[in-house]
Amino acid sequence: MKIRIPWLGVITTLVCLMVISPFLVIVPVSFTSARYLSFPPQGFSLQWYQKILDRPEFTDAFLFSLQLAAVTAVVATLIGTLAALAIHKYNVPGKGFVTTLLMSPLTVPSIIIGIAALLFFTRIGLGGSFAGLLLAHILIAVPYVVRLTLTGLSSFDYTLERAAYIMGAKPFNVFWDITLPLLRPAILSGLIFSFLTSFDNVTVSLFLVAPDTTTLPLAIFSYMQETLDPLVASISSVVILLSLVFIFLLERVYGLDRLFGTNTQSH
């Protein structure tokens, strides 16, 4: 009898290893006591974490990215949820067309969205402004929120709303006590996902940041093109930790497979 090698399992393990390997090397490297990137990482020290604090360009960029992502998340979730409600609840004529239109920014490469925004914003005097950057981030986050909310609404039970109306509830109370709580998972995941979309973005920000205020991924991107040292690893580790918190939150609230299951189909 010959030994059967579970090929599928082996390849799957390798692919899983491949996609997480960047993080498996970054975290150990960030604790190195060496002054350069070395393998294997030497000793243990927090020096590269301390050095982040001496670098206002990174700490400022970090705070700026957090603010930008937070504002983007709130505004995009608001706009996207309202649009999804309009599509699903009120049966707008040309529903399919409206949905396609709202999703259309996803079908255009973000580098082109960035270029279009830069050239047009410069023309109308918004070039290099916070408003321009924020608007572009909102644009790329809204389609995801619309899709998440539409998925959430597909299992929405309208009889609950109708029952509340029949019992004499006011429209606002129906919305506040029935509609909103039922939509909470979709809204919460919209918030988290648009936060991450904005916080991770490079390709759109690249064209729209002002020279003195840059986002964190962009600061890392520029720094990496000049120097490669463990400082990048320590900053990256901080971002990885932060992202992991949000990823686990998203998994609890919504489920990552659902998030991406719908994601791939519309492309």
Would you call 90 exposed, middle or buried from its count of C-beta atoms within 10 A (0-12, 13-18, 19+)?
A: exposed
Structure tokens at 260: 């991406």
Q: Which of 248, 232, 246 is nearest to 73 (CA)?
A: 246
For residue 201, the minimal CB distance to other proteins (Å) is 8
CB-wise, 73 or 87, nearer to other proteins? 87
Structure tokens at 63: 């705070």
For residue 112, the minimal CB distance to other proteins (Å) is 5
For residue 67, the minimal CB distance to other proteins (Å) is 17
CA–CA dist 65, 134 (Å, integer): 11
For residue 39, the minimal CB distance to other proteins (Å) is 4
For residue 137, the minimal CB distance to other proteins (Å) is 10
Structure tokens at 135: 């608007």
For residue 232, the minimal CB distance to other proteins (Å) is 5
DSSP result, the chain: -PPPP-HHHHHHHHHHHHHHHHHHHHHHHHT--SSS--SSPPS---HHHHHHHT-HHHHHHHHHHHHHHHHHHHHHHHHHHHHHHHHHHS--TTHHHHHHHHHGGGGS-HHHHHHHHHHHHHHTT-TT-HHHHHHHHHHHHHHHHHHHHHHHHHT--HHHHHHHHHTT--HHHHIIIIIHHHHHHHHHHHHHHHHHHHHH--TTHHHH--SS---HHHHHHHHHHH--SHHHHHHHHHHHHHHHHHHHHHHHHT-HHHHHHHHHHT-
For residue 191, the minimal CB distance to other proteins (Å) is 14
CB-wise, 113 or 187, nearer to other proteins? 113
For residue 264, the minimal CB distance to other proteins (Å) is 5
